[in-house]
Structure 1
Amino acid sequence: MKIKCPKLIVLFPLFLFSGCVPSSHLHRSYFQEQPLGKQSVLVQTSDAGAIYLLDKVTRIVRSDSSSELIVHQIIKINRESGKKFAEVQIPYNQTFQKVKIDFARTITREGKIIKLKRNAIHTVTPASLAPYAALYSSLKVKTVSMPAVELGSIIEYQYRILQKKSLMKNHFWDDFYFQSEEPLVVSKYILVLPKSRTFKKLEKEINSPEITEKGGQRSYSWEKRDSAGLIREPEMPPLKQVLPLLLISSVKDWEEVASWYYTLAKEQMVADEPLKQEVFRLIKGKKTEREKIRAIYNYCSSNIRYVGLEIGINGYQPHQASEVFHLKYGDCKDKATLLITMLGVAGIRSYPVLINSEHQIDASLPSPSQFNHCIVAVPDEEKYLYLDTTAEICSFGDLPAEDQNRDVLIVKEGKAILVKTPLYRAQDNLCTRKIEINLKEDGTISAKVGVATSGFFNLAYRSSFRYLRTIEQKKFLSEDLNRVCPGAVLAEFKISDLTNLDQPVEENYSFSVENYAMRMGNKLLIKPALIEAVRSTALVAEEKRNYPILFQRCWEKFENVLINLPDGWEAETLPEALLLRHPFGEFEASYQKTEEGILYQRKFRISQPEISILDYQEFKNFYKKIAYQDRKEIILTKTPK
């Protein structure tokens, strides 16, 4: 199964015509595969929205490096949620792909075959790419509305993609996943190639292939049966990291990949005169190399719009740097190439970095398909400074969490360097909130809040507010406050310049809430965890997990809350302080009487980006203790006059 993930365009073009195959052939094809479903316990017991009776892909590689991909799928619709499969959207690149349909139809519960009509097929340019047609006009989507899809009906189609030549001369690669969120009765991948061709493979949770030979060809067939649908868990790793999979590649080593990509990218690193003049303007007056890098990085991040295409979708060759500079937009490899070119004009060396922003690669299998993103590395003494200009809200020196702690391939002038990107420490991703609360006898509070950010939180706050008008920013904050403090009325609001990537985001605001503290006779009960608190334990609701908890980043939140009491009131009972320390994180809550009233301090740190299954029970107890502590109240009493 080809997995469709965020920002990923799966190259499964589909071109369907009514009556392209005689109905007798269609009928025979269906009933040849139908026994698979009848024999499966999954079909009889599953309550999934749909079931794949057959998910079969055949890859044929020819001696001239051209290839053919044949896809055959049979899907049974069980529930209303399964009807989504009636709307087929298949992105493809018309530059190097040609598509032929073998057959496609819907089979009703009564066994009636309904052919697809021509007017149910449309070829469109994705709406998100329409403004960028100058660079990405070859990317299309074939939309198909399958007919007469009802509960109990079956969708079946087979199509083939003919590719004229390999993207990397004399080489091929592919991947296939043997599980999905829907149950799979039969999942099958077949590789057919000349006997003389060799390849490397990575098999995860699947059996070795059945190998057959015929004439001058050798076939490898992998099959997995009766795979239950995957059940998602909160904050679980991406599907590609947990599913049974097959990776194949004929590439010999990473040096081949690096040399190939360098050849593709090098010829596009062209700086015309306007580009050079812009670089000279940016670095004018900058004394150090780091200042120059920062200025050029900020320009590429803020002034060149990012088009969200994964590397490989629009081929692997970036567009010419000068073209991207003038059009002011590009995908990841385009923006990386422009940054490298501009740094080169400034006399600064830098290199493309191929990375997978969703999951770790497997270094034992060299293949371009293991990467979906491209960033930049600048030599920094014995290490590298990594720059990702696709994150338009990421300050210089920071790195998006998706790029951290990843095995990457630095393409250093055609040479391969496999390294791991840094994992930023918890204290590098810090959110500090200072709150002063004035409490009235009726339980009403007025609060002044100041927020300072760094790292991930700087990026997150910038992302939340940057593209909103001032009135929308206030509305967004007001709604956010009311989620944690029902009835909150926002008074003042100020936020730092969000377009200045050199200035970490700071936020200041004030608000009031009636009856926040509960009055009980001559006592008041108030929760000091006003904004930051664990209000839901859904993350640890299950007794056990099948997958790790993936935070992707380490972080720390610190909250300092000063509660000014009304005249004549004092703290009768303060909650006991709590200190929790584990390898994966820390929590500390303290309560202290002061001359003004009460000082509450809360620190919550996650020190590991992933919580393993083995550590889940310990983390669950840790998380539930925090939630319980955050609910605790301070009891105030009115002193006699």
Structure 2
Amino acid sequence: MDCKLLRCLFVISTANLSLLFAQDQFPSWEEKHSDEPFIYLVMERTVELNSDWSTRETIHMVAKIQKESAQSLGEIPIEYDEEFQKVKEIKAFIITPEGKKLRYKSLQSLTPYAGEPLYSSNRIKVITMPNVVPGSIIDWEATIITQKPIIKDAFWDLFEFSIDAPVKTLRYKLIIPRDTPIQIKSHNIDVIPQIKEEGDKIIYVWQRDFVDKFEPEEFMPPWDEFIGYVEISTIRSWEDIANWYWGLVNKNLKISPAMKEKVKELVKNKNKLRDKIQAVINYIRDNFRYVSMSFGYNNYEPHPSDEVFDNKYGDCKDQVLLCMAMLKEAGITAYPALFCSENKGNPREKLPAPSHFDHVILGIESNGKMYYTDILEKGYRFDEISLNLEGGYVYVVNDKGGFFYQIPILDELTYMTYRNSTIHIKKDGSAVIEVTSLWPKDLSIYMRENWKNMTEKQRQEVLESLDETYTSGGKMLERKWENMDSSYKQIKSYIKYERPGWAEVAGDFITFSPCGGAYERRNIFVKEERKYPIMSASNSLSKETWIYYVPEGFEIVHCPEGIHLKNKLAEFSRTYKVEDSKIIAVEIMRYKRVRLPAEYYKEMKNFYNKLAILTRQKVILKRKGVP
């Protein structure tokens, strides 16, 4: 045989062996993600903007079911507004593990807000798939026709490239008229679109293949810094957004005679401006039912405020507009403030589009200052910043073009909590315990609202449950709650109870774990590696004090040493002080709002490991006179 031919065959065979070896060493994309509940083989959206500003959006999804927990994907919801949208060209089938191709089982058109006339045009089409079992593949496609834009002669869109499941092919296709002035901005991705012209259209295609799923971590900075997405907008400026939404406000802000009478009643005998404001807000909070509607593409325009007043229900933007109308009647100026959490990123740094916001709160002008309050959040005065609002971004809509604002971060003392306990230990290990607590603000609101709506029987059952939890078969001697009837204050409680077997008794020795015992290792900072920076979103401070009274005839033979753990994000301390026949223990836990690099992860992990180990302490008491 020719030597050249032999050498050629050798090279080819070696290359084939190398390829086979590489295939054995490097699993396929499907194999790499075989342990996920499901994977997307295809995820694509095609959006075509027409010259009359109507749009045609086609969604195509192909998902492979790999575990039973993903069977819920067999119910496919498609939301739309029948007043100006239509869902067409629905195609859906499933390929069974045996290779059979089955059509969808049913297609329903549901009214999610039946019995609520304000939202009667909202619809959901639900595609139900058969045989959704591990190994099956769901393939569906649907087209949504939007006949008119929300904002006249305007279009915006956003497509994410960071998904909560692995995606083999992720594609976004945009088709626009050639002469459309459009802005495009990419965030956290380096995908360059393919651009081509076809007749009077320009076609953009963004595509990424073999995309790993986005997995957030605890104590993480705003996701917006890490999620890849591209945004599109034809809106020239944020001022155009303000002018559009202010027009909706003027169109729908209506004050009926009944509203005027109610406002007159609410502000009667209230001389201070802040009391008038709070009276109107409390009336809406206490008397209007919230209907959950996303502040999304179909749901930007608030309903007329007089209709909301008569119906006694509405979503966030409806109730904000109602409050604006009633405050206006009382001579107080207020504005709608489009809101998004800090996690969604600063909208000022994005293209103008209302879709950056998912909520509407109220901005109130009082004595030259602006205050921001969520009409839906009970338990807060209008001049207090709630835990859910801190750090969030607002775009205040007014008749001057609007403005941005970031809600301040609260300091650690704003909603500080504390608990003071005295424990009188008895010789048999039982104890009489007194505990005074200042509850967290959010827990105070939750308890107060639930308590208000309970029957007497339910209240009694709650108290019995709490008594048993504390006393473990002992006896509740006294119980007092303060601020249960207050609208805004944190609840303060006092309990006194007897508990048998509180401490361990072994002959002449009594032992117990101080300060509530050891901290269990929390399920945070437990992985080996960290991908993203570390950030605490808020400041917090809690303080607890325990005073332990040693029973007569006993002495303290061992008291734990103090603990002090501190890093740039968290601080924990326990101190002990022995005074005659008592031990005073003080524990402080503090978190600071700070941002740290991922390399600091081991420091945080070490903090929680030490916390679990060092708090496994015991106090030992011994009967006097015993060697």
Query: Normalising to structure 1: TM-score of the pair?
Result: 0.86
Partner of 2:18 in structure 1? none
Q: Distance in 1 between matches of 2:324 and 2:151?
A: 23
Partner of 2:323 in structure 1? 339
Q: Distance in 1 between matches of 2:567 and 2:445?
A: 27
Larger radius of gyration: 2
> Counterparts in 2 of 1:52-71, with a 5 A limit?
52-71=40-59
Corresponding residue to 2:501 among 500, 515, 519: 515
Q: Distance in 1 between matches of 2:179 and 2:470?
A: 65
Note closer, same or farther for the CA distance 1:73–1:289 as it changes in structure 2 (3 Å cut): same
Q: Distance in 1 between matches of 2:114 and 2:537?
A: 33
Partner of 1:354 in structure 2? 338
Question: Which deviations, in whole Å up to 9, do the C-alpha atoms of 1:541-578 show, x marking residues without a partner?
Answer: 12332345565432211112222222122322222223
Query: Does residue 1:41 correspond to 2:35, yes or no?
Result: no
CA contact (8 A) 1:401 1:552 kept: no
Unmatched runs of 5 consecutive residues or more in structure 1: 1-38
2:352 is aligned with what amino acid? P
Question: Which deviations, in whole Å up to 9, do the C-alpha atoms of 1:58-85 show, x marking residues without a partner?
Answer: 0111111101110011111122222221
Question: Which deviations, in whole Å up to 9, do the C-alpha atoms of 1:602-639 show, x marking residues without a partner?
Answer: 12121217665344333333333334444322222222
Partner of 1:277 in structure 2? 261
Question: Which deviations, in whole Å up to 9, do the C-alpha atoms of 1:346-370 show, x marking residues without a partner?
Answer: 1111211111135223323211010
Query: Does residue 1:369 correspond to 2:355, yes or no?
Result: yes
Q: Distance in 1 between matches of 2:499 and 2:76?
A: 50
Q: Distance in 1 between matches of 2:287 and 2:594?
A: 32
Q: Distance in 2 between matches of 1:562 and 1:299?
A: 44
Note closer, same or farther for the CA distance 1:616–1:329 as it changes in structure 2 (3 Å cut): farther
Corresponding residue to 2:241 among 257, 265, 283: 257
CA contact (8 A) 1:297 1:387 kept: no
Query: Does residue 1:78 correspond to 2:66, yes or no?
Result: yes
Query: Does residue 1:420 correspond to 2:406, yes or no?
Result: yes
Corresponding residue to 1:317 among 301, 321, 324: 301
Q: Distance in 2 between matches of 1:470 and 1:436?
A: 31
CA contact (8 A) 1:444 1:512 kept: yes
CA contact (8 A) 1:429 1:457 kept: no
Partner of 1:576 in structure 2? 561
Corresponding residue to 1:113 among 97, 101, 121: 101
Partner of 1:33 in structure 2? none
Greater Cα offset, 507-516 or 140-149 = 507-516
Partner of 2:151 in structure 1? 168
Question: Which deviations, in whole Å up to 9, do the C-alpha atoms of 1:473-495 show, x marking residues without a partner?
Answer: 56557767988997787665544
Partner of 1:640 in structure 2? 625
Question: Which deviations, in whole Å up to 9, do the C-alpha atoms of 1:190-249 show, x marking residues without a partner?
Answer: 111011113223322241211111001101111111112334544556766643222222
Query: Does residue 1:243 correspond to 2:221, yes or no?
Result: no
CA contact (8 A) 1:430 1:457 kept: no
1:602 is aligned with what amino acid? E
Deviation of 1:252 after TM superposition, in Å, equals 1.2
Partner of 1:8 in structure 2? none
Q: Distance in 1 between matches of 2:410 and 2:47?
A: 41
Deviation of 1:326 after TM superposition, in Å, equals 2.4
Query: Does residue 1:153 correspond to 2:123, yes or no?
Result: no
Q: Distance in 2 between matches of 1:463 and 1:230?
A: 37
Corresponding residue to 2:385 among 399, 402, 406: 399
> Counterparts in 2 of 1:72-221, with a 5 A limit?
72-117=60-105, 120-126=106-112, 129-130=113-114, 133-203=116-186, 204-221=188-205
Q: Distance in 1 between matches of 2:621 and 2:174?
A: 74
Partner secondary structure for residue 450 of structure 1: strand
Note closer, same or farther for the CA distance 1:368–1:73 as it changes in structure 2 (3 Å cut): same
Note closer, same or farther for the CA distance 1:481–1:181 as it changes in structure 2 (3 Å cut): farther
Partner of 2:22 in structure 1? none
Deviation of 1:459 after TM superposition, in Å, equals 3.7
Note closer, same or farther for the CA distance 1:491–1:228 as it changes in structure 2 (3 Å cut): farther
Note closer, same or farther for the CA distance 1:408–1:167 as it changes in structure 2 (3 Å cut): same
Note closer, same or farther for the CA distance 1:444–1:236 as it changes in structure 2 (3 Å cut): farther
Unmatched runs of 5 consecutive residues or more in structure 2: 1-25
Note closer, same or farther for the CA distance 1:287–1:162 as it changes in structure 2 (3 Å cut): same
Query: Does residue 1:448 correspond to 2:434, yes or no?
Result: yes
Q: Distance in 2 between matches of 1:446 and 1:270?
A: 61
> Counterparts in 2 of 1:428-439, with a 5 A limit?
428-439=414-425
Q: Distance in 2 between matches of 1:287 and 1:579?
A: 51
2:40 is aligned with what amino acid? Y
Note closer, same or farther for the CA distance 1:381–1:396 as it changes in structure 2 (3 Å cut): closer
Partner of 1:16 in structure 2? none
Partner of 1:379 in structure 2? 365
Corresponding residue to 2:292 among 299, 302, 308: 308
Q: Distance in 1 between matches of 2:40 and 2:371?
A: 46
Kindly tell me the number of residue pairs found equivalent between the two proteins: 597
Partner of 2:208 in structure 1? 224
Note closer, same or farther for the CA distance 1:485–1:113 as it changes in structure 2 (3 Å cut): farther
Question: Which deviations, in whole Å up to 9, do the C-alpha atoms of 1:79-128 show, x marking residues without a partner?
Answer: 222222112233332222100024211112333211124xx2222233xx
1:306 is aligned with what amino acid? Y
CA contact (8 A) 2:81 2:123 kept: yes
Partner of 1:28 in structure 2? none
Corresponding residue to 1:562 among 519, 522, 547: 547
